[in-house]
Structure 1
Amino acid sequence: MVRIAEARKMRSLGSSYACLEFLSYQSLQRCLVSGTAKGKSKIKGSQPLKRSKVTTNKGTGSGDSNQKEGGPRKKSEFDELVDECLALTSPIRFLKHKEKAREAEREKMGLKSKGSDYAGLAKKYSRVLMRKHRARQAAESAFLRCKKEAIEALPEGLKAAALVPNLTPFPAN
């Protein structure tokens, strides 16, 4: 409404230069640009930053913290409900025969999936596989060391026959 009235005044002024001067003055008055964001004050170097502070009630230090003069504090209904919800066990899932066998195998390996997420299970399974791999490598290296010692103990005639490589694979289990 005010702008329309100002525009009518400008028409009456006639000169475009006066009109421009008036409009620039009006925009400066209304649209003042400050160096900081709206609502923020400039921070001086010596002033500490303002942060929201969380107040804590400090006890007197005497007596048990759970007990006051009237005896033990009674939990509110909401607190009891929250504790009850947190203590609930997860419902038992219906598992098919195949899934039951898989769960039994996981438990045998030490992978209990109760309450674990998939990433946690994957990490545990990876650890189990690495443990098995290390055990297999240790068994294989012990076997090869024993074989080498046994060959060294043989007489010369049998040693040549024993050095022929055995190409049967190492047993998986």
Structure 2
Amino acid sequence: MTAKTDPAAPAASSVPIPAELGILTRRRIEAEIIKPIYDVLVRELGEDRAARIIDEAVSNAAVRTARELAAREPDGATLKSFVALFPMWTRDNALEVDVIANDGQRYDFNVTRCRYAEMYRELGLSKIGHLLSCNRDSVFIAGYAPDIRFGRTQTIMEGATHCDFRYRDGADKES
């Protein structure tokens, strides 16, 4: 029996993701694998170096995934095509989002509940949860569509009440 795969689902590697496996579940699996590796890295190299290694590895995976998804866009990766991908991250009620603007030039929203952050805390990974998820956001969009600008000043993972995501189309030079 062959598992049905979702061609739009982002992968951490070239291994296809089963369609029924959402990103929240995938992040949990990754976190459970990374946690013992991180613990050994901390013991052997110290907390700062371990965090840098995890950050580099996760960031590289995010860029690779972004480029793979961008390559699938017949008209090229744009803010509009990125917005169309967004349900992948909210699947399974992973995020509660208030959209502020979505006008083709801007995609602004606040995340008011983040089950990714909740999961990392539950797994005892709150210290590196931002490395496992939050830090992916800026490098992902840079890999997906380098002309799209990304900004965020705070995250739930780091203690804020909400995450403030701001995306700008590269042609929108005013904001």
TM superposition score normalised by structure 1: 0.24
Q: For the pair shown, which has the larger CA radius of gyration, 1 or 2?
A: 1
TM superposition score normalised by structure 2: 0.24
Relative contact order higher in (CA < 8 Å, ≥ 6 apart) = 2
